[in-house]
Structure 1
């Protein structure tokens, strides 16, 4: 396929008239292409004028002497080249072009830390298939909707562990999320304060104008060596905005099956007051969710709230090809000029 006219005579290639070539063009002045329908009208008017005003010579022949000869068709050849010249002129006036547009998108970005509870109670099955698997799915979907934001992951149960630093390598984050299991931390319990402290430590040197922490937990603070409120105040001192999500129902909830395949139940509690206070200190919001759909909706809301402005720069590289068809039009016109004065234009018509 021809992308550029590089040589002096490259315009002579027949490829300029292939459908695939013409289809890839943008047309600066497409209205001229409608002139194709006017050309037959012009030739019809020309024929009518010639029929009425051109002098005719009456010659008498016997009927048996009048025979048609193929050479009489030669008189149409000049008109064919004139028609081609007009058609190619219209194509040139329509300005066929190729435009390559490059779009560069960029944003200042947001630093986001996902703090996910993996304690034993996250295996409770009031969510499908359980709370931890539901949390992993919405975390993955949340990351997929971001653009150039740095995201990190902290997991916690009886202790807190930084699973991933802030990064824009989303494929790496997906791999980390897929590998999360409830037995990654041996210590039992729910160390909410420690998790907040680890996340804050990861974000404290961030120079981003917007730092966001999303804490997802289903229980009370029962482990760790730092109080959740103190940890929240420390995070707020580093301008970290905090969202907290309380996951699960309180009371008697399903917790798997026993040896005989019967569903077992446990009593579940949630310290909603502490989670609300953390969100209040971090100038964020607290959400309480009791099923998969509610959890997905909350992450969608946070995704909408914490969007950086995406800016883009467009570069357009436009190449004109009208001169190719103009050259062909001039060539066709010159051939017509030569032929119209030749014997072809003087072939007798019946």
Structure 2
């Protein structure tokens, strides 16, 4: 920080950084000018003057340019006294306005929620009614959804004829996005759609009390704030045709553990020469109702993006914001300047530039 006598304290760039605590004090500065004007007009006739003659100096120096310069300087110095008084009083008013620099630090705290993504990677997800494919569109928009989360733990389960837990609940969003980017229809060779088994895998992950090392800090911060909200987002394009657990039973189990279910039917009815591929909404609607969540239909990439945005708005943990302010006052600097100008005015009062006939 510059010393108090530095000129930088009067630069406009410095003043733009200040917050004025008492702006009323600054409004009094024009009043000081008004008082000077009133005093001048009241006393201009009755004011006693002590004339200073410069004829001896002019006779010795002649009418040279240097002599005229000295004359102008001495003539202008008679204004030094009132200007010094004005500047001194004005700077004292500036110090009374308390210029400050406030450094604000915001700290956001959120308990977050637990989210399990259940992604269908069966052969039917390679259909191109959502170009380039249903699976490619779903995983890309799921990555965008992960990008928008804060303080949430996200896990990933994939399923076709079988269900596998690909990623546990974690706050390492880069890892989750990497797993999503690697999804393809060849990861599970067993044909079919095991929705019930996928839900069971998600429920087991949410019931698992062990946390990864990356989540221990978050876990400690949440320990005393109550139970975290839990949701499952299931994306599929077909009816339950495989697996060992009925989806209805799995949905009731999720409801028993206070886990909310969101189901998304990906794609639209597509008929090919070999067979008719349909998107069965019945079971997805049923388990969403049992799980106290919502069912969504995504017939194109725009609608699927809107579905993720809607879920993102619905499932937001409350955020607590703490604002810390570091306030530094700089009134002393202008107080010192004001005192210096007043002392300078007092000094001028005792010289030829002050009117000794008046107090």
Would you say same fold, with TM above 0.5?
yes
Q: Gapped runs of 5+ residues in structure 2?
A: 210-225
Mapped contact 1:109–1:208 kept (Cα < 8 A): no
Counterpart for residue 271 of structure 2: 252
Q: Gapped runs of 5+ residues in structure 1?
A: 3-9, 254-263
CA distance 1:60–1:302, change in 2 (3 Å) = closer
Aligned-residue Cα RMSD (Å) equals: 2.8
* Equivalent of 1:54 in 47, 53, 61: 47
Counterpart for residue 289 of structure 1: 298
Counterpart for residue 202 of structure 2: 199
* Equivalent of 2:248 in 220, 223, 229: 229
Counterpart for residue 121 of structure 1: 124
CA distance 1:236–1:156, change in 2 (3 Å) = same
Task: Report the CA distance between 1:250 and its aligned residue.
Answer: 1.8
Mapped contact 2:160–2:194 kept (Cα < 8 A): yes
TM-score (norm 1): 0.84
Task: Report the CA distance between 1:58 and its aligned residue.
Answer: 8.8
Within 2, Cα distance between the matches of 1:216 and 1:28? 56
Mapped contact 1:110–1:208 kept (Cα < 8 A): no
* Deviates most, 49-58 or 218-227: 49-58
Q: State the secondary structure of the residue aligned to 2:131.
A: coil
* Deviates most, 200-209 or 18-27: 200-209
Matched, 1:72 2:75: yes
Mapped contact 2:49–2:355 kept (Cα < 8 A): no
Matched, 1:270 2:289: no
Q: State the secondary structure of the residue aligned to 2:94.
A: helix
Q: State the secondary structure of the residue aligned to 1:338.
A: helix
Matched, 1:20 2:13: yes
TM-score (norm 2): 0.82
Mapped contact 2:50–2:355 kept (Cα < 8 A): no
Task: Report the CA distance between 1:208 and its aligned residue.
Answer: 3.4
Matched, 1:108 2:111: yes
Task: Report the CA distance between 1:340 and its aligned residue.
Answer: 1.5
Aligned structure 1 segments of 4 or more residues deviating by more than 4 angstroms: 56-62, 64-68
Matched, 1:170 2:173: yes
CA distance 1:57–1:227, change in 2 (3 Å) = closer
Within 2, Cα distance between the matches of 1:112 and 1:136? 15
Matched, 1:99 2:118: no
Task: Report the CA distance between 1:325 and its aligned residue.
Answer: 0.7
Counterpart for residue 288 of structure 2: 279
* Equivalent of 2:140 in 124, 137, 142: 137
CA distance 1:186–1:59, change in 2 (3 Å) = closer
Counterpart for residue 33 of structure 1: 26
Give the number of aligned pairs: 329
